[in-house]
Amino acid sequence: MTHGLLWFPLLIAFVLLTGLGWIEKRRQALYRSWAKGAELAKLDSSGAARLKEGILCWSNFEAGKFNDKDSFEIKQLELVELMALSSGEAPLTNESQGQCRLRLIGSGKETDVPFADAERAREWMSQLMEKARCDL
């Protein structure tokens, strides 16, 4: 009896990990259909973003679907800044890593797109500015 009780926590852990894996697989499948046809797309722990037909929109995954947070028209883009995620208005240095946000500025509007990785955000920064120049 005690031998069986020792295996019970492992069984619970297995069931839990299997369930979490199924949720992640479902999230990635929904992301692929959400981002289909996008020129630029990302999925990370801070959410999803896509550039499609000149509109950058980002969302987060809640209750089995992607809920759109906000959008920004790329042809109105004037400036992109890399900012720290939680420290107010502090810009990120080139050596910084980790969570951050891209601040999109254009036509009197400022919006922030969260990123889980600063390196990926830097890549997006340059690609968005290239797209904005091409759309002009």
CB 30 within 8 A of CB 66: yes
pLDDT tens per residue across span 62-109? 877 788 888 888 888 888 888 876 666 656 666 667 788 888 888 888
- What contacts 128, CB < 8 A, 6 or more positions away? 40, 51, 56, 74, 77, 80, 102, 104
Provide the pLDDT for residue 90: 59
Q: Give the predicted TM-score (pTM) of the model.
A: 0.73
Closest residue by Cα to residue 55 from 135, 114, 126: 135
pLDDT tens per residue across span 14-35? 999 999 999 889 888 988 988 8
User: pLDDT band at residue 123, thresholds of 50, 70 and 90?
Assistant: confident
Question: Strand (E) positions, 38-128?
Answer: 40-44, 47-52, 55-62, 65-73, 79-84, 100-106, 109-115
Helix (H) or strand (E) holding 118: helix 118-135
Question: Which domains are assigned to the chain?
Answer: 35-135 (2.30.29.30)
Q: Is the pLDDT of residue 136 over 70?
A: no
